[in-house]
Structure 1
Amino acid sequence: MNFYDLNRHGEIGANSIYLQIGPFNILVDAGLHPKKMGYDALPDFEPIEDVDLDLIILTHCHLDHLGALPVVSAHNPTTPVITTAPNEMLAPRMLRNSINVMKRQRQEHGISEYPLFLHRDVAQLSKQITVQRFERGEIYLKGKEQIEVILHPAGHVAGAAAVELVYKHRRIVFSGDVLFDAQRTLPGAHLPQGPVDTLFLETTRGAKGRESGRSRSTEVDRLIDKVGQILDRDGSCLIPVFALGRMQELFKIIYEARNFGRLPNSPIYAAGLGMDICNYFDKIRRRTQLIDFDASILEKMKVKPPEPKMRPGRDLAKKGIYLVSSGMMVEYTPSYNVAASLLPHSSNGICFVGYCDPDTPGGQLLQSKDEESYFFNALDYNAPIRASIDRFDLSGHADREELVEYAQTTDARAIVLTHGDQSAREWFKNELSKRMNHSVVLDPETLVCHKI
């Protein structure tokens, strides 16, 4: 087997792996890099420019895995795009939103190549999607050769799949993005067991382990207690969330906490793409029973949109819980604007519930929380830091120890490290080399053909 990592910048970003397995040309994911702009955000597709892809496989609908897929499908209009039923429903919605964002960025930043694809490309992609049920293998033929594709539930987010490829009794497994713990909206991962020939393993959380004595369940308890404290002191609580997955889980956490008397029935404000995704989750629940989210809880909790006009530094008159994107408090997003209003007032609080890249405003605020002020560059406003700032580990990714233990169960001949910053990959390489000294552990160089 030969493979190329097409993510030109490496680390976490425009995830895309090209495989040559026997006569089959297979692409797993095609994402956009969240910190790059224009063509630089795309994978480098040069190794597949003159290749007719036989199969394209989509693991899940976060844009770092999905966002460049219309570019690939436009050049391979007859190639099946294999994915799960939730992804079939979610992918077009996420991509249409991405087009709108790119059009706005074209105006704001003068990026002439935006949008990188159009609505007709999304429509073409939708025609190519081939839905597979979890843990039901499908055989694909090329001449006299055949390959089996099996999708396994990976947790992480609705529709997320690990991918197993079986070719001539050789098993190749892509973990995808994995969460073994159950979330309030969906069960945890159930990955293929060993023996496996080659394992492509995500390494997102390799740089740091979970703090001793803490689990996802204890972190949810800490979050509920903190939100309650903020509301008790007549403050507002901002919870920056990702629109896909995290917003829906937080709605369920708050709804259940209210029902058990752990939180008061204070107002909840939310808006944007995440609210639309709530309706998609409800449809997925009714059609597939693969997730547990009933959109009627929004009406029961009387969720309202936040006030349209906010001024930096002026506290919000409507007190309550603000559940808005982006999860990393990116500039120009609702969470960025709400934070600029809440931060100077000691009764308020900001609760981060997932990973924040250090280069994003959310990551910078977490690093600056013990300082006197934080500068909101997009608003030209220097805010005194008086609100409480806390982080809770509700990541959608498995702990590094869990992933190493899983890798050991596969007894893989070769392990390829993916989807992680360099320090995270180095930890995995060192740890796996010690515990699985019979295995080849590879941190692949990007855009280079590797044979394993």
Structure 2
Amino acid sequence: MKLTDLNRHGEIGANSMFVQLGSFNILIDSGLHPKKMGYDALPEFEPIENIDLDLIVLTHCHLDHLGSMPIVTAHNPQTPVITAAPNVTLAPRMLRNSINVMKRQREEHGIAEYPLFLHRDVAQFTKQLTVQRFGRGEIYTKGKEQIEVVLHSSGHVAGAAAVELIYQGRRIVFSGDVLFDAQRTLPGASLPMGTVDTLILETTRGAKGREAERSRDSEINHLITQIRTILERGGSCLIPVFALGRMQEMFKIIYDARNAGHLPKTPIHAAGLGMAICEYFDKIRKETRLLDFDINILEKMNVRAIDLNMRPGRDLPRKGIYLVSSGMMVEHTPSYKIAASLLPHSNNGLCFVGYCDPDSPGGQLLEQRDNATFFFDALDYSAPIRASIDQFDLSGHADRRELIEYAEQATARVIILTHGDQIARDWFAQELTSALPDTKVLDPEPLTEYSI
């Protein structure tokens, strides 16, 4: 097997792995780097520029894995894109939204190459989507050679899959993004068990482990307690969320808490792409039973749309829970604008329920929450920090110890590290080398071909 990481910047970025097994040319994912712009946000496609891909696999629909797929399929219009059923519904919607964002960024930042693809490219990509059921292998043939592809549910988000390739008796497993804990909307991961030859393992949470006394359930309980505290003191609670997965889970968490009497029936306000995703989740639930999300709970909770014509510093007149994107409070998003209104008022509170990149506005606010003020650069506004600011660990990624345990039972000949900052990869490399002395642990350099 030959493997090349096309994510030119390494760490967590434009995820894309090119694999050659015998005569088969296979691409696993093709994303966009969330912190880069223009062509710099793309994977480096030069190693596959003159190669016809036989198979493309999409593990899930977060843009760091999906975001440049239409560019790949435009150059490989006959190649099947293997993926789980929910992604056939979700991927086109995520990509169309990405086009709109790129068009706005072209105007704001003068990026001439945006958008990187057009709606016709998304249409072509959609034609090539090929559904595989979890746990059911499919055989693909090229000449006299055969390869079996098996998708396994990896938790994380709707439609997320680990990928197992079986070629000439060798099992090669790409973990994808993994969450073993069950969420309110979908079950936890069910990865392929037993000995494998090569394991490509995500390392997202390698820099810091979860504290022993903290679990997903306990974090949810602490979150509900904090929301109630904010509401009881007459404030509004802002919960920045990722549009795909986290918003839908938070709706269910709040719905269950209200029904159990743990939260008052206060107004809930929502905005952003996540509201459209709620409708898709309901459709997927009806068609596949792979999700547990009934859109009728939004009506039962009287979820209201938000008027985003607000002035920084002026408290919102409509009190309640504000469940809006983006999860990292990125500039120009609803959560960014609402935070600028809520932050100066001590009865309000912000509750972050996922990872915030340190360079994002959300990450910066968490870092500076003990300061007197926070500057909203896009609004040219310096806000006094008076509202409470808390963060709860509802990550969509497995704890590092859980992934080490999975790797130990796999006893792979080779483990390849991916999807993690360098400090996270270094921790995994050290732990895996110690736990599995007969296993070769490789942290691949971007764009370098490795023979495995």
* Alignment TM-score, normalising by the size of structure 2: 1.00
Q: CA deviation at 1:272?
A: 1.6
- The 8 Å contact of residues 17 and 28 in structure 1, kept in 2 or not, is answered as yes
Please tell me the residue identity of whatever aligns with 1:135: G
Please tell me the residue identity of whatever aligns with 2:427: W
* Partner SS state of residue 190, structure 1: coil
Please tell me the residue identity of whatever aligns with 2:201: L
**Deviation sequence 1:240-293 (CA, Å, 0-9, x none):** 000000000000000000000000000000012100000000000000000100
Distance 1:408 1:380 in 2: 51
**Deviation sequence 1:371-405 (CA, Å, 0-9, x none):** 11100000011111000000000000000000000
Matched, 1:183 2:183: yes
**Deviation sequence 1:402-427 (CA, Å, 0-9, x none):** 00000001111100000000000000
Partner of 1:310: 310
Partner of 2:342: 342
Partner of 2:388: 388
* Partner SS state of residue 438, structure 2: coil
* Partner SS state of residue 383, structure 2: strand
Distance 1:164 1:299 in 2: 40
Q: CA deviation at 1:22?
A: 0.5
Distance 2:307 2:110 in 1: 30
- The 8 Å contact of residues 33 and 41 in structure 1, kept in 2 or not, is answered as yes
Q: CA deviation at 1:101?
A: 0.4
Distance 2:438 2:370 in 1: 47
Partner of 1:422: 422
- Provide the alpha-carbon RMSD of the alignment: 0.4
Matched, 1:237 2:237: yes
Q: CA deviation at 1:212?
A: 2.5
Distance 1:100 1:165 in 2: 35
**Deviation sequence 1:172-214 (CA, Å, 0-9, x none):** 0000000000000000000001210000000000000012200
Q: CA deviation at 1:306?
A: 1.6
Distance 1:314 1:126 in 2: 44
Partner of 1:351: 351
Unpaired segments ≥5 residues, structure 2: none
Amino-acid identity (%) = 74
- The 8 Å contact of residues 164 and 174 in structure 2, kept in 1 or not, is answered as yes
Q: CA deviation at 1:308?
A: 2.8
- The 8 Å contact of residues 236 and 342 in structure 2, kept in 1 or not, is answered as yes
* Partner SS state of residue 309, structure 1: coil
Q: CA deviation at 1:307?
A: 2.3
**Deviation sequence 1:117-163 (CA, Å, 0-9, x none):** 00000000111111000000000000000000000000000000000
Partner of 1:412: 412
Partner of 2:136: 136
* Alignment TM-score, normalising by the size of structure 1: 1.00
- The 8 Å contact of residues 308 and 334 in structure 2, kept in 1 or not, is answered as no
Distance 1:318 1:184 in 2: 28
Please tell me the residue identity of whatever aligns with 1:152: H
Distance 1:346 1:431 in 2: 44
Partner of 1:431: 431
Partner of 1:195: 195
Distance 1:300 1:100 in 2: 31
* Partner SS state of residue 78, structure 1: coil
Partner of 2:372: 372
Distance 1:211 1:385 in 2: 28
Partner of 1:23: 23
Q: CA deviation at 1:305?
A: 1.1
Distance 1:251 1:213 in 2: 26
Please tell me the residue identity of whatever aligns with 1:75: H
* Partner SS state of residue 270, structure 1: strand
* Partner SS state of residue 60, structure 1: coil
Distance 1:385 1:437 in 2: 50
1:36-435 mapped onto 2 (5 Å cutoff) = 36-435=36-435
Unpaired segments ≥5 residues, structure 1: none
Q: CA deviation at 1:309?
A: 1.1
Partner of 1:444: 444
1:3-14 mapped onto 2 (5 Å cutoff) = 3-14=3-14
Distance 1:314 1:308 in 2: 12
Please tell me the residue identity of whatever aligns with 2:7: N
- The 8 Å contact of residues 14 and 65 in structure 2, kept in 1 or not, is answered as yes
* Partner SS state of residue 152, structure 1: strand
Question: How many pairs align?
Answer: 452
Distance 2:13 2:316 in 1: 35
Please tell me the residue identity of whatever aligns with 1:17: M
- The 8 Å contact of residues 194 and 412 in structure 1, kept in 2 or not, is answered as no
* Partner SS state of residue 351, structure 1: strand
* Partner SS state of residue 141, structure 2: strand
